[in-house]
Amino acid sequence: MVRTMSGIQPTGNLHIGNYLGALVNWVALQQQYEAFFCVVDLHALTQRPDPVALRRAVREVTIGILASGVDPDRATLFVQSHVPQHAELAWILSCLTPLGDLNRMTQFKDKSGNQPENINAGLFTYPILQTADIVLYRAERVPVGEDQEQHLELARETVRRFNHVYGDTLPEPQVVKSHAPRVMGLDGETKMSKSRNNEIGLFETAEETLQKLRGAKTDPARLRRSDPGNPEVCNVFAWHGFFTPAAQRAEIDAGCRSAGLGCVDCKKMLAANLEQVKGPIRERAAVLREHPQRLDEILAAGAAKARAAAEVTMELVRGRIGLRAAAAGSGQP
């Protein structure tokens, strides 16, 4: 069965960008593929999180993944650091990755700009660990948002290089894009991101969301309600595209252009439609929080399955590169 793999960092709370850009596809792909989904706590170390906050974030992100519809009976859901093979393979792949390739990564430039006081080596080699995450499960489908596409291209190149040097061993992963690969933040200028403080949180209440939406950027040229607006340049209208049925969207479009509908009312409609999606997720999350033991069981079972699958790949890889006897029938001396 073809495998799918993806990961989310436990840094801050999940937002609707994570949900639309990645989680929606995780839920869909688990039906079709053998799925491995991972809370990538080793990646989060690049931001040197407070240990207590990190532990809490791992649990909250796991809860968010489950509440969004990932089914632990179908998908293997686990925490990256519970599977030591991730770090082992990352080292092996780092010895195959030219510095020049890492230098091209735009996320490194963004992230080092965000934390100039802590530009650590992990931030630079981060895409290699991400490649290891994928390759360890021999995954061929990787659901991610647009911001991760460059990392996926690097992963593909690394796989090609490995196969060229050591013989055909690993499959090339492909990106699976969602219908919302780049959700913009409340500022309307940068992508929604945990580190930019411009997000609509997945667990926020309807009131909190409406409060945030009040300050969200709309069509910059529309200053008064009586000015006609242009939905094509309005970020709030773009969000309606993900949460609002087509007929209501057409009404909003017409109302905005004719100035019959004001921005405040348009935002209230969006908040109500967002709540249709977020309300049930919030409720499922509350139930999961009441059963911490259940969460521990899910993660322990996931880690055991992930370790077993990872070890199969590692045995193959170690044999190919000369760290162990080559596997029987591998064609290697």
Catalytic residues: 111, 191, 194
Of 162-221, binders to ligand TYM (CB under 6 A) are 180-183, 191-193
Q: Which of 134, 176, 261, 306 binds ligand TYM (CB under 6 A)?
A: 134
Q: Which of 66, 70, 105, 142 binds ligand TYM (CB under 6 A)?
A: 142
Q: Which of 3, 4, 7, 138 binds ligand TYM (CB under 6 A)?
A: 7
> In terms of CB distance, is 66 or 261 closer to ligand TYM?
66
Q: Which residues contact 90 (CB under 8 A, 6 or more apart)?
A: 125, 128, 129, 131, 132
Contact between 275 and 244 under an 8 Å Cβ cutoff? The reply is no
Contact between 263 and 229 under an 8 Å Cβ cutoff? The reply is yes
Q: Which of 3, 12, 22, 49 binds ligand TYM (CB under 6 A)?
A: 22
Query: Which of 135, 94, 129, 74 has its CA nearest to residue 309?
Result: 135
d(CA 225, CA 34): 51
With tokens 């009404």, the residue in question is 251
Contact between 227 and 221 under an 8 Å Cβ cutoff? The reply is yes
75 scored as a contact of ligand TYM (CB under 6 A)? no
64 scored as a contact of ligand TYM (CB under 6 A)? no
- Which one of the spans 65-73, 112-120, 138-146, 254-262 is the region binding ligand TYM (CB under 6 A)? 138-146
Of 88-117, binders to ligand TYM (CB under 6 A) are none
Site residues (CB under 6 A) for ligand TYM?
5-9, 17-18, 21-22, 40, 43, 130, 133-134, 142, 144-145, 147-148, 180-183, 191-193
